[in-house]
Amino acid sequence: MAGFSHVRDLLENPPGEEEVQVRGWVYRTRSSGKIVFAVLRDSTGIVQVTIKKGNLPDPEFEQAVGATIESSVEVRGTVHKDDRAPGGYELRAKSFILIGPAPPFPITEYQSEELLLDNRHLWIRSREQTAVMKVKASLLMGARNWLDENGFFEVTPPIFTQNACEGGVTLFKLKYFDREAYLSQSAQMYLEAIMFSLERVYALTPSFRAEKSRTTRHLTEFWHLELEEAWVDNIGNMKIQEELVSAMVQEVVRDRKEEIALLGRDIEQLKAIVPPFKRVTYSHMIERLQGKGIDIAWGCDLGAAEERAVTQEETIPTFVTNFPIECKAFYMKQDPDDPRTVKCADLLAPEGYGEIIGGSERETDIDIIMARLAEQQVPVDAYQWYLDLRRYGSVPHSGFGLGVERVLRWVCKLEHIRDAVPFPRTVARAYP
């Protein structure tokens, strides 16, 4: 008998008569006198363990009788076919050892959302949360593989910053010794700087936004995957985005069929997420919204409701390009063909999920940037280093930021973005 097996190995390659050992946590249990049925959970799945008095030493049988939900245990036994058991096999115990006992578990079947959030550190052991975390890991692996194959360097920008990248309204301010600093909203400006060394760069960092709005798609701390690409225009930027998103989703299709099924998402819908995605201009989107009877004028930003309305019926993501210049950040490149607009694209997920990426070609004209900072009454001093990037060998370039939890929420069909992160940070909560 070689060490411990994982549950998945037992179910996929039943070992026959040979004894095996597994270890994990008690998922549920019931007993009737001389027999205990415990379902054991590990990181790979669940298996039914049948513990029968007489098949193992009496003190171990008593431990099994007393084992509560989420106790950790080690079991030795043999695997037998049983169509009634989850996975089609059961493990008949010859030994059952309690490793870590557990008091009554505070989470039972029907619980208020508040209680689940208060006990988040325990609730993340649930099968749904476990599935979501595995899908997230696969999305990130798919991204990293694609980025590596396509010549991007992973880099490490700072989180403390003295610049607002995305406007002052959502900045978290903090005391940085005797100065003021902020938590990063986006690594973009630093990626633009590093791009001059490495040409194609990306970073995966937490970003922070003091979002006061309680919505199903805003966190105050989220994971941000950002790319910056030298010599790439807005059209090339969109191509990179659709290939990257597709590579991420197809990694999930390959690795996470079970989890996707458990979360109630049809895998065929994910298989369809391949390039090309749709492309629509902002102006066209406004006409479409007006056609649906929605009261919106050219010049207004698209909110969650508008994004939902235009993506509800879609099955693949849509790029919305050329937003009005006054809706977007100071660094986006003005479109010479339509100077009321910028060369940007928001990528909207289908089925009503809305924005998952914000990106653009970057303005290279230092005077335009300074004028736009002045318009927004931003003191230019703190931006001198950024303006240097336009002074010293500036090149056309583009980039974007992908909200990892936004993508995960869509892929896993989650009602609320807080379930896309193990310890959600929202206006209402920073505990546990």
Beta carbon of residue 106, minimum distance to ligand 4AD (angstroms, whole number)? 28
Judging by DSSP bridges, how do beta strands 318-321 and 278-281 pair with one another? parallel
**Cβ nearer to ligand 4AD, comparing 166 with 306:** 166
CB 344 within 8 A of CB 316: no
Residues of span 354-373 touching ligand 4AD by CB under 6 A? 355-359
- Of residues 188, 234, 241, 321, which one binds ligand 4AD by CB under 6 A? 188
**Cβ nearer to ligand 4AD, comparing 26 with 332:** 332
Strand ranges across the sheet with 173-176: 160-161, 179-183, 173-176
Q: Do you know the residue count of the chain?
A: 432
Half-sphere exposure (Cβ direction) of 300: Cα atoms closer than 13 Å: 15
Query: CA 388 to CA 390: how far, in whole Å?
Result: 5
Strands (E), 43-121: 45-52, 72-81, 89-100
Q: Who contacts 235 (Cβ-Cβ below 8 Å, separation ≥6)?
A: none
**Cβ nearer to ligand 4AD, comparing 71 with 170:** 170
Kindly state whether residue 226 participates in binding ligand 4AD, applying the rule CB under 6 A: yes
- With CB under 5 to 8 Å by kind, the binding choice for 157 among ligand 4AD, Mg ion, none is none
CB 161 within 8 A of CB 262: no
Kindly state whether residue 77 participates in binding ligand 4AD, applying the rule CB under 6 A: no
Kindly state whether residue 358 participates in binding Mg ion, applying the rule CB under 5 A: yes
Segment interacting with Mg ion (CB under 5 A) among 21-29, 45-53, 358-366, 415-423: 358-366
Kindly state whether residue 399 participates in binding Mg ion, applying the rule CB under 5 A: no
Size of the site for ligand 4AD (CB under 6 A): 22
Residues of span 366-425 touching ligand 4AD by CB under 6 A? 399-401, 403, 405-406
Picking from 404, 359, 358, 366, the residue whose alpha carbon sits closest to that of residue 383 is 366
Query: CA 104 to CA 282: how far, in whole Å?
Result: 55
**Cβ nearer to Mg ion, comparing 77 with 354:** 354
Beta carbon of residue 232, minimum distance to Mg ion (angstroms, whole number)? 19
Q: Who contacts 329 (Cβ-Cβ below 8 Å, separation ≥6)?
A: 165, 166, 167, 360
Beta carbon of residue 145, minimum distance to ligand 4AD (angstroms, whole number)? 21
Reduced to 3 states (helix: H, G, I; strand: E, B; else coil), residue 290 is helix
Kindly state whether residue 403 participates in binding Mg ion, applying the rule CB under 5 A: no
Segment interacting with Mg ion (CB under 5 A) among 153-161, 328-336, 352-360, 410-418: 352-360
Query: CA 398 to CA 362: how far, in whole Å?
Result: 5
Residues of span 326-355 touching ligand 4AD by CB under 6 A? 355
**Cβ nearer to Mg ion, comparing 263 with 356:** 356
**Cβ nearer to ligand 4AD, comparing 14 with 206:** 206
Q: Who contacts 416 (Cβ-Cβ below 8 Å, separation ≥6)?
A: 216, 409
**Cβ nearer to ligand 4AD, comparing 80 with 120:** 120
What residues make contact with ligand 4AD under the rule CB under 6 A? 165-166, 186, 188, 209, 211, 218-219, 222, 224, 226, 355-359, 399-401, 403, 405-406
